[in-house]
Amino acid sequence: MNMVSGKLTGHHALVTGAGSGIGAAIARSLVEAGASVTLAGRRSEPLQALSAELGADQTSVVSGFDVTDTAAIETGLKQAREKFGPVTILVNNAGEGPSAPFEKTSLDLWNRVIAVDLTSVFQVTQAVLPDLKTHGSGARIINIASTAGLTGYAYVSAYVAAKHGVVGLTRALALELAKTGVTVNAVCPGFTDTPLIARSVETIVEKTGRSQQDALKEFTKHNPQGRLVQPEEVADTVLWLASPATQSINGQAIAVAGGEVLAG
């Protein structure tokens, strides 16, 4: 049984990018803990499949939820509220991380990554904030950043810049909302066993002819434990931050990375 099973009963959590990987794992954990969860994302099929797995009574599907489109965000939130009422837990998980050398990073690629990974957090949070402030104590904003928001990686400059921005926004908003009862924190996973990493491994294999095992080492080498983080480990951290016991945890960027990033 989940360590906070039932403790989120009465909460309405909105999870962006919920269709697969970390987002799906977070949704599963929140449902197990008793929350009603809106599964938000662009593609309907994976969201519907996850809803069927978790149960239609406790989940709502909002597809076409483009986190870069203000109108799509407002439409999605209206749908979410119609079933479960105001949002009390927001998990900003949607994102992407294309790679390119800095000199070959076009302005279009830069703008796209900043829009999807950083500006979206601003837009979705601003749209949901009235719900959260009305709820007050116990309301949560949890941003899925990355160890890239705490350190640097080569060949993903736009992603690193965006995730640093997410961490900075988290800290600023945590201070602004401190007296409202709404807490704001970031979770910063290292390289995680998700479809995104699987595709990256396949790309390395195709471009270099290296074996899958050798290609995977490009990602596991960053973790002192020599492995990929599991999505469920990230979800457990989100679940802890969402629980009633963490009211004093605010403005933090918590690395889930096997010791890759150590606090100074």
- Catalytic site residue 159? yes
Strand (E) positions, the chain?
A: 12-16, 36-40, 59-62, 89-92, 140-144, 183-189, 253-256
End-to-end CA distance of the chain: 35
Report which of 34, 33, 31 is spatially closest to residue 18, judged by C-alpha positions: 31
Q: Which of 65, 84, 159, 240 is catalytic?
A: 159
Q: Which residues pair with 143 in a beta bridge?
A: 92, 186
Strands (E), 88-171: 89-92, 140-144
Which residue has tokens 């990256």?
200
Chain-centroid distance, C-alpha 139: 17
Q: Across-strand partners of 186?
A: 143, 253
Tokens 């105001």 identify what position?
A: 86
Residues tagged active-site: 159
